[in-house]
Structure 1
Amino acid sequence: MLSHLSIRNVALIDNLTIEFCDGFNVLTGETGTGKSIIVDAIGLILGERADRELIQSGKDYAQVEGLFYLKRPEKVAPILEQYGVPIEDDGTLLLMRQLSRSGRNICRINGQMVTLSVLKEVGQHLVDIHGQHQHQSLLNVEYHIEILDRLGGDVIALLKQQVGQLYSQWKAVRREMEELINLERDGERMKDLLSYQINEIEAANLKVGEDVELVNERSLLQNAEKIMSVVQEAYDVLYRGSTTGTAVFDQLASVRDRFAQIAQFNEVFARISHDIENIYYQLEDIIDRIRNYRDSFDYDPDRLNEIESRLSLIHSLKRKYGPTIEEILALKEKLQQQLLTIESSQEKLEQLRLQERKIYGKLVEACIELSRKRRELAEVFEQQLVCQLKELGMEKTRFKVEISSPDLGSFAEGRLEASASNYITSQGFDRVEFLISPNPGEPLKPLAKIISGGEMSRVMLAFKTVLAEKDDIPTLIFDEIDTGISGRIASVVAEKINELSRSHQVICITHLPQIAVMADKHYRIEKKVCDGRTVTHVHLLDDQERQIEIAKLIGGTEVSQIGLEHAQELIDTARKIKQAVN
């Protein structure tokens, strides 16, 4: 439900907040007071197109916020999750839109900035506006099949699920077939290329980490003279000694022996003696390693040439097939798989064709059953809707659920591709459109092309009444639904809306007292002059104020005692009707 609506700097509205109830809300007021502005404001947070003329004169921006309480958040949760919008634990959803004179829109959902298209995607699951406005889901032909299917409940839902699963399987097989057909088209050329690439990689006999080892070895060979000079000098200094003095190893041995002689006299000397002993053995180990490296080092110019040649080959393969040896080897496996696929493509293609025919047959059968159920459902729906329209004063109205399906003969195996691509979708092969003729002698026409706003609103009300428990859009707004009706029909419309408000939140703008008296909350919209400016105010009426407002709706601006009595009589009658229904 729409709990709170906050409007700022929109047309005649400075700063206004309306708190709606979850039942039947009515807004009344004289023509020109700004009732349509409120509906336009709601349209803004639902992602409707905005006119900069809505921005109040002298202001830089207009802003609308709507706070919704979601009884079934799972309907919009996947959309919000897709765009990373957080969902509040208490089920609240705050939609905000700010419109600037530059034409820029700032849209937020629960404080997170989103695009206008996301705002509209979420909004279409929250509110349906009927009347002189365009936020009317029933005018969207693509939505008609969803409406009909929702009326069918679990039976249709299960059939659609089956069709959807088979359709997904069928499309997946067809995509795989298309890939194989494309492979076959250039198969021989691809086979030669793949074979060449695989052989080139295999001939190199690559090993993971080989390039790093070769670079290290090359570095040693390129610097062999310097390395051996350092190694020999170190060996001489540490072990052999030189003309400049005794070897470090011999000097350390002497120091070790002398400290061993005094270690018994002091703990400090003992520790030093122990540490020198450790250093002596460590140095001995180092000298052994230096000697071994010196004796085993073999500088071979031919080996350096081999390394350069090998690294050049590896570099060439990296340029062609990948930046690392690991990726080159992984690519080789992928190429081998592609080659195997091409070599076995004809056999695989035949298997896929058999698989496709099998799935396609099941899919067509499921589509036929779904279509049959829809046609049965359509007959019931037509009767129910015509009945509702008669009660709403449209006795001569004809209504038709037109279901267009292909000639089933076109689904024969020999004409598979042509027929399937044209008709079958994840929802079956039916095309559904609602047609109506509100007046005798007129042909049936699409809903979007019919008549006046008043007739349209009553048609929408009839739809919503039939679909009451199946319709998952929680808030319905009827803008001046009373156009062209009065008397008994007005009372019927009022009772229909009241019945509808038991499963939906209803916000209704009306001029009819018969409708206004059925409301759970009644708001009066009026214009006032403040500081030389005309502004729109909305006031929630108490019982006495409501009686006066109903009397004005009955007899005009002058309120008489008879008018007040008549108003109270209507209010009392409405209360009894509501109590009986509840």
Structure 2
Amino acid sequence: MLTALSIKNYALIDSLQVKFNDGLTIITGETGAGKSILLGGLSLVLGKRADLSSVKNPTEKCIIEATFDIANYNLKSLFKTEDLDYEPQTIIRREILPSGKSRAFVNDTPVNLDSLQALGAQLLDIHSQHQTLQLTNDDFQFQVIDALANNSNLLQDYALQLQTFKRVKSELKKLQHQKIEAAKELDYNLFLLKELEDANLVDGELEALEDEYETLNNIEEIGERLTATHELLGNTEIGVVTQLTEIKNQLSKLAPYATDYKLVADRIGSSLIELDDIFAEIEALQEALEADPNRLNTVNSKLQVINNLLQKHTVSEVSELIQIKNDLTENVSVTENLDTVIAEKESESLAVEKQLNTYALQMHKNREKAIPGLTKQLEVLLDTLGMPNARFNVDLNLSDTFLGNGKDELKFLFSANKGGQFNELKKGASGGELSRIMLAIKSILTNYTQLPTIMFDEIDTGVSGEISNKMASIMQQMSTTMQVFTITHLPQIAAKGDTHFKVFKEDVDDVTQTQLKRLSPEERVVEIAQMLGGLDMSSSAIEHAKQLLA
């Protein structure tokens, strides 16, 4: 419920602070006194777009702040969704800066207008004759039916299942599209994969093959040079090994004379050992060297295959070709298994759809059961509100399409006169009739669901005194379970309130300002007497006012 309101520098309001109670709160005032200003300020708190022209002094900041007691509103999940800190006493503040920029805060946390509107819709419902078109809105009509049908839990289950259904359908569609595209590429991928598999690729083999090719391709030159090297090293007369052996012998004879001679002799000995090893290695290479034209052709062919594949796939390493082969293997496997995957996804889709149908059908049955009770209650209430011939017919049909709240298509049909045809509400009811219908519906809803604070804005316009009594009684009954505000010009309604505020204008330092005042019991008598008989109150008007209040 709305517990407090503070308005600064807005329209004709310089500064206003007021606290509200539960029950039925009456707001009265002469035409033009500023009741619409009060509603405008509250609308800003609920997320209406700001307009700098509504700021009283454009050089100063406009601030509107409303405090709500939301302990019984079950809004923790909404606060979590909107990433807001939940407080049982929640403060919403709206600021309009001199620059024209607007800011909004919930419990001092900045929020955007979408979040503010989502929260505001759960806190305060401002209802006027001009807003009765909500009655003709499908979503609102379903809210009414579902409240009476106790479909709240089913709607939540259905919404979650609908999300799952849409996800599974989307995944199935992607798989089917993937299958079509994959089928186009499958033959080519299989061809590429076979090429790579036939190549029998081994990581690191390219370098080894290149070395082997160079050896086989130049075997004659290699043989000649190995032979020449072997001769230079091992010739018994002039070979390097023979001469180095002689050098070592000569230096060894000098070793006893000085350490330096011994060191040189040892180094020659080490070189001779290494040279002997090289000489043996060359002999081994000579023995291993063998011309093999067939192997040369094999190596050459394998190199051509690898190089062609490297060029074809625009890579530089055999390891990259192996990775491409692995990827192709996986793609081909996925493509070949798509039918199985699609079949599994279709089965999942059917199971989800079956459960979704179960929820939708149960909601449909609940709605069918609730409709007679709703139409009966509406007709009884409208009879008391001066519409004795009003008749309702709710047309509910089960469709083949999954909608946001089930599979039902809904129409509220109305007839105001005996023997009259049923028409849709927007065609069959006048503005005044729509106002009374809306009041009746909101009154019924208070018995089935927790409604936000409601503010009726002169919905009693054009209503007779007797009917206004009945409207006031309905509002009074509603206020036993929720907070109700009503802005009225009718004394019969004003007298029913638990609390009474008056909106009025006054001149302060030659500046007109709007004020809001809580009336005392004595002031209420005067206010209602003036509503009955004008400013020149008669004693009969005073007595009548007292009787109404009594």
Tell me if both proteins adopt one fold, taking TM over 0.5 as the criterion: yes
Question: Which SS does the other structure have where 2:74 is aligned?
Answer: helix
Match of 1:564 in 2: 542
Q: Is the 8 A contact 2:414 2:428 kept in 1?
A: no
Q: Quick one: structure 1 residues 173 and 537, their matched pair in 2 at CA, closer, same or farther if it must change by over 3 Å?
A: closer
Question: Which SS does the other structure have where 1:348 is aligned?
Answer: helix
Q: Quick one: structure 1 residues 56 and 164, their matched pair in 2 at CA, closer, same or farther if it must change by over 3 Å?
A: closer
Question: Which SS does the other structure have where 1:456 is aligned?
Answer: helix
Residues 1:186 and 2:164 are matched in the alignment: no
Instruction: Give, as a single letter, the amino acid of the residue that structure 2 aligns with 1:352.
Output: K
Give CA deviations for 1:158-195 in whole Å, capped at 9, x if unaligned. Answer: 54455445534433432332122111101145557877
Q: Is the 8 A contact 1:128 1:137 kept in 2?
A: no
Q: Quick one: structure 1 residues 433 and 6, their matched pair in 2 at CA, closer, same or farther if it must change by over 3 Å?
A: farther
Match of 1:86 in 2: 85
Question: For 1:307-386, what aligned pairs fall within 5 Å after superposition?
Answer: 339-386=332-379
My pick for the range that moved more, 529-538 or 92-101, is 92-101
Match of 1:111 in 2: 108
After TM superposition, give the deviation of residue 24 of structure 1 in Å.
0.9
Q: Is the 8 A contact 1:127 1:475 kept in 2?
A: yes
After TM superposition, give the deviation of residue 38 of structure 1 in Å.
0.8
The one of 515, 539, 554 equivalent to 2:493 is: 515
After TM superposition, give the deviation of residue 339 of structure 1 in Å.
4.5
After TM superposition, give the deviation of residue 486 of structure 1 in Å.
2.4
Structure-1 separation of matches of 2:132 and 2:116: 13
Residues 1:494 and 2:472 are matched in the alignment: yes
Structure-2 separation of matches of 1:335 and 1:86: 52
Give CA deviations for 1:206-226 in whole Å, capped at 9, x if unaligned. Answer: 9xxxxxxxxxxxxxxxxxxxx
Give CA deviations for 1:29-71 in whole Å, capped at 9, x if unaligned. Answer: 1111111211121111111244444222655553321111102
Match of 2:207 in 1: none
Give CA deviations for 1:306-346 in whole Å, capped at 9, x if unaligned. Answer: xxxxxxx9xx9xx999xxx9xx99x9999876554322111
Instruction: Give, as a single letter, the amino acid of the residue that structure 2 aligns with 1:483.
Output: T
Q: Quick one: structure 1 residues 516 and 338, their matched pair in 2 at CA, closer, same or farther if it must change by over 3 Å?
A: farther
Q: Is the 8 A contact 2:26 2:500 kept in 1?
A: yes
Residues 1:529 and 2:507 are matched in the alignment: yes
Q: Is the 8 A contact 1:403 1:430 kept in 2?
A: yes
**Percent identical residues:** 30
Question: For 1:290-305, what aligned pairs fall within 5 Å after superposition?
Answer: none
Give CA deviations for 1:466-492 in whole Å, capped at 9, x if unaligned. Answer: 111333332000011221112221111
Question: Which SS does the other structure have where 2:26 is aligned?
Answer: strand
The one of 394, 398, 406 equivalent to 1:428 is: 406
Structure-2 separation of matches of 1:449 and 1:107: 41
Alignment TM-score, normalising by the size of structure 2: 0.70
Structure-2 separation of matches of 1:362 and 1:146: 22
My pick for the range that moved more, 424-433 or 515-524, is 424-433
Q: Is the 8 A contact 2:133 2:426 kept in 1?
A: no
After TM superposition, give the deviation of residue 379 of structure 1 in Å.
2.4
Q: Is the 8 A contact 1:464 1:471 kept in 2?
A: no
Structure-2 separation of matches of 1:510 and 1:49: 26
Number of residue-to-residue matches in the alignment: 437
Structure-1 separation of matches of 2:364 and 2:525: 53
Residues 1:444 and 2:423 are matched in the alignment: yes
Structure-2 separation of matches of 1:121 and 1:148: 22
Q: Quick one: structure 1 residues 116 and 502, their matched pair in 2 at CA, closer, same or farther if it must change by over 3 Å?
A: same
Q: Quick one: structure 1 residues 31 and 168, their matched pair in 2 at CA, closer, same or farther if it must change by over 3 Å?
A: closer
Match of 1:174 in 2: 169
Q: Quick one: structure 1 residues 52 and 436, their matched pair in 2 at CA, closer, same or farther if it must change by over 3 Å?
A: farther
Residues 1:98 and 2:77 are matched in the alignment: no
Q: Quick one: structure 1 residues 189 and 504, their matched pair in 2 at CA, closer, same or farther if it must change by over 3 Å?
A: same
Q: Quick one: structure 1 residues 180 and 461, their matched pair in 2 at CA, closer, same or farther if it must change by over 3 Å?
A: same
Q: Larger Rg: 1 or 2?
A: 2
Q: Quick one: structure 1 residues 470 and 199, their matched pair in 2 at CA, closer, same or farther if it must change by over 3 Å?
A: farther
Give CA deviations for 1:6-36 in whole Å, capped at 9, x if unaligned. Answer: 1122221111112111111111111111112
Q: Quick one: structure 1 residues 432 and 561, their matched pair in 2 at CA, closer, same or farther if it must change by over 3 Å?
A: same
Q: Quick one: structure 1 residues 387 and 15, their matched pair in 2 at CA, closer, same or farther if it must change by over 3 Å?
A: same
Please provide the CA RMSD for this pair. 3.6
Structure-2 separation of matches of 1:511 and 1:167: 48
Match of 1:40 in 2: 40
Q: Is the 8 A contact 1:435 1:447 kept in 2?
A: no
Structure-1 separation of matches of 2:360 and 2:79: 32
Match of 2:385 in 1: 392
Match of 2:443 in 1: 465
Question: Which SS does the other structure have where 1:42 is aligned?
Answer: helix
In structure 1, list runs of 5 or more residues that go unmatched: 207-312, 407-418, 573-582
After TM superposition, give the deviation of residue 427 of structure 1 in Å.
2.3
Residues 1:143 and 2:136 are matched in the alignment: no
Q: Is the 8 A contact 2:495 2:549 kept in 1?
A: yes
Q: Is the 8 A contact 1:43 1:135 kept in 2?
A: no
Q: Quick one: structure 1 residues 139 and 112, their matched pair in 2 at CA, closer, same or farther if it must change by over 3 Å?
A: farther
Q: Is the 8 A contact 1:388 1:462 kept in 2?
A: yes
Instruction: Give, as a single letter, the amino acid of the residue that structure 2 aligns with 1:516.
Output: A
Structure-1 separation of matches of 2:326 and 2:33: 75
After TM superposition, give the deviation of residue 100 of structure 1 in Å.
4.7
Q: Is the 8 A contact 1:434 1:447 kept in 2?
A: no
After TM superposition, give the deviation of residue 527 of structure 1 in Å.
0.9
Structure-1 separation of matches of 2:16 and 2:133: 26
Q: Quick one: structure 1 residues 34 and 194, their matched pair in 2 at CA, closer, same or farther if it must change by over 3 Å?
A: farther
Structure-2 separation of matches of 1:198 and 1:497: 82
Instruction: Give, as a single letter, the amino acid of the residue that structure 2 aligns with 1:129.
Output: I
Instruction: Give, as a single letter, the amino acid of the residue that structure 1 aligns with 2:90.
Output: L
In structure 2, list runs of 5 or more residues that go unmatched: 205-306
Instruction: Give, as a single letter, the amino acid of the residue that structure 2 aligns with 1:95.
Output: I
Instruction: Give, as a single letter, the amino acid of the residue that structure 2 aligns with 1:475.
Output: T
My pick for the range that moved more, 115-124 or 93-102, is 93-102
Question: Which SS does the other structure have where 1:424 is aligned?
Answer: strand
Question: Which SS does the other structure have where 2:406 is aligned?
Answer: coil
Question: Which SS does the other structure have where 1:389 is aligned?
Answer: helix
Question: Which SS does the other structure have where 1:84 is aligned?
Answer: coil
Q: Is the 8 A contact 1:24 1:505 kept in 2?
A: yes
Q: Quick one: structure 1 residues 339 and 109, their matched pair in 2 at CA, closer, same or farther if it must change by over 3 Å?
A: farther
Q: Is the 8 A contact 2:2 2:68 kept in 1?
A: yes
Match of 1:129 in 2: 126
My pick for the range that moved more, 99-108 or 433-442, is 433-442
Structure-2 separation of matches of 1:364 and 1:163: 9
Match of 1:284 in 2: none
Structure-1 separation of matches of 2:69 and 2:194: 62
Match of 1:274 in 2: none
Question: Which SS does the other structure have where 2:403 is aligned?
Answer: coil
Q: Is the 8 A contact 2:3 2:67 kept in 1?
A: yes
Q: Is the 8 A contact 2:5 2:64 kept in 1?
A: yes
Q: Is the 8 A contact 2:411 2:424 kept in 1?
A: no
Q: Is the 8 A contact 1:145 1:433 kept in 2?
A: no
Q: Is the 8 A contact 1:402 1:435 kept in 2?
A: yes
Q: Quick one: structure 1 residues 404 and 63, their matched pair in 2 at CA, closer, same or farther if it must change by over 3 Å?
A: farther
After TM superposition, give the deviation of residue 348 of structure 1 in Å.
2.7
Q: Quick one: structure 1 residues 183 and 393, their matched pair in 2 at CA, closer, same or farther if it must change by over 3 Å?
A: same
After TM superposition, give the deviation of residue 560 of structure 1 in Å.
2.7
Instruction: Give, as a single letter, the amino acid of the residue that structure 2 aligns with 1:444.
Output: N
Give CA deviations for 1:531-579 in whole Å, capped at 9, x if unaligned. Answer: 101111111111111111121122111223322222112111xxxxxxx
